[in-house]
Amino acid sequence: MEVNIAGIINDLRVIITKKSGQEMAFAKFQDETGTINVVIFPSIFSGTKEILTDSNPYLLSGKIDFRDEEPSLIVESIKNEKEIITEDNKLFIRIPKGTGTEKLSSLKELILKNPGDHKVCLVFEGEINKQLDLNVKINWDTQMAHSIEQILENLAN
C-alpha cells in the first residue's frame, strides 16, 4: 500500500549495514493520529541524511510493510518543510475520524490567526477520505506544525 504521511521524526537511529557497509536509518514517525516505525534504506538515506533531524516536520512517501506485528513504513522519498512548501504551496492537514466541532473551531481559529502564502487542504479520514480545499492561506513553519499537532493530538484525550 503506497502512502504519503506528514509528521515529525523522533528517535532517529543510524546504523551501518553488515552487507554493504552503508548507512541506513530507523525512526519513529509521528502525526496527530499516532506513531509508525519507519525504515530508511541506504539508497534513500544517503541523499537525505543531511536534512533529517528529530522533531522537524517531513513528508514521507513509501509503502506499508506488515511483516512484523506492527506495520512499518518503508520510505521511498523524504521531503522537508522547504521542499513541501515550494512544491505547490499546498499544505494537507489530516483530520482524524471523529473530530468534533470544538476541535475544528480551534483549528480554524489557528489558521485564520496565521495568514501566509500556503494553501490549505483538509483531509477528513473515514471510510472514504474527503478533501476540502480552504479558501485561505497560512504561514507554515515548525511552530505552526506543532500547534496543529497539539490541537489534533488532544482528540485522543
**What's the mean pLDDT when you consider all of the chain?**
85
Map out the domains of the chain as residue ranges.
2-79, 89-153
Q: Which residue has the higher pLDDT, 86 or 119?
A: 119
- Tally the C-alpha atoms within 13 A of residue 13's C-alpha that lie toward its C-beta: 9
- Residue 79's pLDDT is what? 86
Distance from CA of residue 145 to its chain's centroid?
9
Residues in a beta bridge with 10: 28
pTM of the model: 0.57
Fold of the CATH domain 2-79: OB fold (Dihydrolipoamide Acetyltransferase, E2P) (2.40.50)
Q: How confident is the model at residue 2 (pLDDT cuts 50, 70, 90)?
A: confident
| Mean pLDDT of the region 5-14 | 90
Closest to 94 measured CA to CA, from 7, 24, 10:
7
What's the CA gap between 96 and 147, in Å, rounded? 16
From residue 18, give the alpha-carbon distance in Å to each of 22, 23, 56: 8, 10, 29
